Each structure stands twice: as C-alpha cells, then as structure tokens.
Structure 1
Amino acid sequence: MRPSSKSLAICLLALALGAPAHAVGVRVEVVGSVEYSVIQGGLSGVKAGDRAVMSFNLDSDNYLNSENFPTRGYRIDLGSFDLSIGGVHMQLDMPQAGSGDALFVLRDNDPEVDGFFLSLGPDDRVPLSLHVPGLEPEHELEFGRTFSVNTALHSLNILDAVGVYGFENMSSYQWTMGRFGNYGLEVGYEGISISAVPEPTTQALFGLGALALLGIARWSRQGSLAGSMALAPSVPEYQR
C-alpha cells in the first residue's frame, strides 16, 4: 500500500527535525595588509598596503590533541586552502613535510594565554610549506595570534570559538613568509573569522523539511477547498 502524500510529507519533516543541529564544517578566514615584501617571482609586484587574505576549511571532528599542552590542532583541508597576497593566489604544498598534516591550532589557557596558530603539530608553531608562483624554492608560511587573557576561548572545541576576532586583547601576532627563518614578506594582521558551515546532508534534510511543510500546507488547503465544494449548494446552470 503506497503512503499518502500527507504521510510522506510528515515523514520527511520528522527526518529533517531529527537531524543533528550542530555543524561539523568550519570555515576560517584571516585578513590583513602587506607591511613589506622582497619576495620575487609572482610576488615581485606586491607592495606595502596590498590586501592579504588566507582562508581554508576544516572539520570540527578531525583533530589532534597535544599530550603536553592545552592545545588542539584541527586538520586543514589542503584542497580548500587559499592564500591571496596582492591578488596572487597560493596553495599549501600537498602533502606537507613529515606527517603531511597542516593544522589550525587552538590554545586555551596555555598558560594564562589563549590563541590560534598554524603548525605541523599541536604542540609548537612549525612553519607550513608552500611555493610562490615563478619560484622553485619552497617557502615557509607562519601565522599566529595570541590574546593577553585566558578568557577569549572557552574550550578547545572550535565550534565554541566561532566568531570574529580583531585587535581586542591581542598580545602578539605573526604572519610571515620566507626561507630558513628569514622573512621576505610580512603581513599586518587585521582580523580572523571562524564560522560554522552546515554539512551538505544536513542542508538537504532541512530542504526536505521545508518541502514537507509546503506539502502539508498544500494538502490542508486542498482538503479545505474540497470540503467547501462538497458543502456548497448546487446552483442551476445559467440559461439564456
């Protein structure tokens, strides 16, 4: 026996409402402006004041906890990474050296300090590797931003860190590119945003839920209209 349209709509609505409410995908974006650059190749035309934007995605369930410090590193989706310096786009090397993991690390009360940094491990800041267009040598990318208080972050769960962070309570930052610890480019930090992105399956379920609500409403209207027609008195056909 085939289910009625109303039954199907109610089932779809129940599925949507029963889906997990929390988002697993996370989008991180850091913005700033170039303070100086002497790197050549594709960056030869970059000058002070040019815009810098770094963005990438990660999964809130995909992380490494430090065994030594109150830090947690979330694995960056390397395919989503983009670093734009003065309009020149660069990606991280895939894979990275060592473990191949590039991490976005959270510090929570470490000690008495909160913050974010990029690294190859969850303990200490280790440069990530990338290549500048037009240049053969590997370059090092470093980024970190710390707070002067231990109340900026509330846990090592990145979903608790969703928000926008400008200069408030900032104790230090570093956003550089170079080789062997020599910085050829430095960016002045302006802000970082961390936002939760619903999973495609969750979005699809809520889309089905919306369709279910529409179907139930349409079914109700049709039912009401049919009832009205059934109760309406018959009217003789107009005669010429």
Structure 2
Amino acid sequence: MRTIVAGAVLAIVSLSAQAYEFDFTARVTYSDGSLSGVSNGTVFSGHFVGNDPVNDYGDLPAPFNTQMASYSFGSGGVTANIAGHSVSAQNPSIRIYDNLGGNVEDGFSMDSGYTMSVDGVTYDSGAFGFNLTTKPGNTGVIHDLSLPGSIDVSAFDGHSSLTYGFMQRDGSQTGAILGFQVLSVSVVPEPSSMALMGLGVTALVAAARRRQRQG
C-alpha cells in the first residue's frame, strides 16, 4: 500500500510541475504619455502563466549549464491591468541565473514575448516583462536553476539599469511605452492538483484495503 501511495504522489507532483504561474505588482517609473491616466507612481498588477516548461539552455556546456536556464512554454501568457488599460501577450519565457559571476550574480527575468496587445491594438514587435538581478557578491537569492516556488523581490538589488521592468511597442529608441519597478511576485500554488492528489491517494488506499480484505 505504501508503494501505491508513493506512486500516486509522484504522479501528481509530476503533473503539477507542468505549469508555472505567478502574480506580480509594480509601480510605473516612466511613461511616454500614450496611456491615459498612467503616470509615474501608478501601481498595477499582472499575471503570468506558462504550461509545459522546457529549459532551452539545458545543453549548454559546463559551467554555463549550472549557471543559467531559459524556459520556454508550450502555451501560456502574460496579462496586466494598468489603470484600466489591458495588456496581454502569448509567448512567455523566463530566465534564471544562479551564481553567474559577472555583473549579475543571481537573476529572475520574465519576458512576455511577441506579439503584445494593448487595449486591443497589436504590436508585432511589442514586449512586456521585467528583470530582477543581484550585484556581484549578492548570492544565495536564487538557489538552483529550477523555476522557483517563491520569489522575494526585496532580496534582489534595487531598481537600476539591471533590475527594471519594461513595456515597449518595438525595439526602437522611441519604442518604450512604460518603465516600472517590480514590487512583489507571488507564485500561485495549484490547489486543483493538490485536490487531485488527495482524491487519488484516497481512492488508491481504499482499493488497496479492499484487496487486502479479499486476500
């Protein structure tokens, strides 16, 4: 029976590992004025979800394969509501840095990918995302290259040229719509998977007990 229970738990854990989801809040630090009602200091919230993550850096040679990961997703998206303005994109990615040893030690970066939509207007080269990084010597914020189960924004070094948020219509010098500072990132647990785990384990235990009685 122990084997059955262990197998059920492992199966559900494997299933739940196929999705990654978090909420975030941020404060605007730059606006080009194209979004009405948005100015420096405007606080907004966003949501990230990615399914079936794949580390595209998994085949990098040592030591880089232990220092950085870049996750693409089979499906997913990034959405945000910025003072009533709707933002969305459907090709998200995440990069992880762990003891990189350069001008950045640890890092967690999210990019919405192309294309991006703002209030229904599509920008083929638009992107929305943020970088959280630590300076040389500030290690131990990222512990490995897996997608982290929790993210303490305050542990990263403050808003700077290496720690920032962005929203742009394209990559030109005049393409920036917003700059922002990330205030919090809250990884969303998967209660549906946990409920399935409980139901699955309960059913398997009951079946095992019936077989024991019959035997």
TM-score (norm 2): 0.68
SS of the aligned residue for 1:74 comes to strand
Q: How big is the alpha-carbon RMSD for the aligned residues of Structure 1 and Structure 2?
A: 3.5
Question: 2:182 is aligned with what amino acid?
Answer: Y
The equivalent residue for 2:155 is: 168
Cα separation, 2, equivalents of 1:175 and 1:118? 9
Shift, 1:132, TM fit: 1.6
Change (3 A) 1:212 1:33: same
User: Within the alignment, does 1:188 sit opposite 2:181 as a pair?
Assistant: yes
Question: 1:105 is aligned with what amino acid?
Answer: R
Gaps of 5+ in 2: 211-215
The equivalent residue for 1:232 is: none
* Bigger Rg, structure 1 or 2: 1
The equivalent residue for 2:30 is: 36
Change (3 A) 1:56 1:203: same
Of residues 79, 88, 92, the one that matches 1:91 is 88
Range 21-30 or range 141-150, more displaced = 21-30
Query: Could you list the per-position Cα deviations for residues 165-195 of structure 1 after superposition, in whole angstroms to 9, with x for gaps in the alignment?
Result: 1222415411112231442311122122334
Cα separation, 2, equivalents of 1:90 and 1:77? 20
Query: Could you list the per-position Cα deviations for residues 2-27 of structure 1 after superposition, in whole angstroms to 9, with x for gaps in the alignment?
Result: xxxxxxxx8xx975543216340322
Cα separation, 2, equivalents of 1:177 and 1:83? 11
Shift, 1:39, TM fit: 4.6
Cα separation, 2, equivalents of 1:191 and 1:211? 39
Shift, 1:198, TM fit: 6.2
Residue pair 1:57, 1:76 contacting (<8 A) in 2 also: no
User: Within the alignment, does 1:82 sit opposite 2:79 as a pair?
Assistant: yes
Residue pair 2:132, 2:153 contacting (<8 A) in 1 also: no
User: Within the alignment, does 1:103 sit opposite 2:93 as a pair?
Assistant: yes
Cα separation, 2, equivalents of 1:141 and 1:166? 18
Cα separation, 2, equivalents of 1:75 and 1:16? 32
Cα separation, 2, equivalents of 1:181 and 1:72? 29
Query: Could you list the per-position Cα deviations for residues 40-84 of structure 1 after superposition, in whole angstroms to 9, with x for gaps in the alignment?
Result: 2xx323233322223212357522116264211122465442122
SS of the aligned residue for 2:151 comes to strand
Of residues 117, 122, 145, the one that matches 1:131 is 117
Shift, 1:207, TM fit: 1.7
SS of the aligned residue for 2:119 comes to coil
TM-score (norm 1): 0.62
Shift, 1:146, TM fit: 0.0
The equivalent residue for 1:224 is: none
Count of aligned positions: 189
SS of the aligned residue for 1:163 comes to coil
Cα separation, 2, equivalents of 1:198 and 1:59? 16
Change (3 A) 1:142 1:17: closer
Shift, 1:128, TM fit: 4.7
Q: Equivalent pairs: percent with the same residue?
A: 17
Cα separation, 2, equivalents of 1:74 and 1:185? 25
User: Within the alignment, does 1:45 sit opposite 2:34 as a pair?
Assistant: no
Of residues 121, 124, 141, the one that matches 2:128 is 141
Question: 1:187 is aligned with what amino acid?
Answer: F
Cα separation, 2, equivalents of 1:76 and 1:85? 25
The equivalent residue for 1:63 is: 55
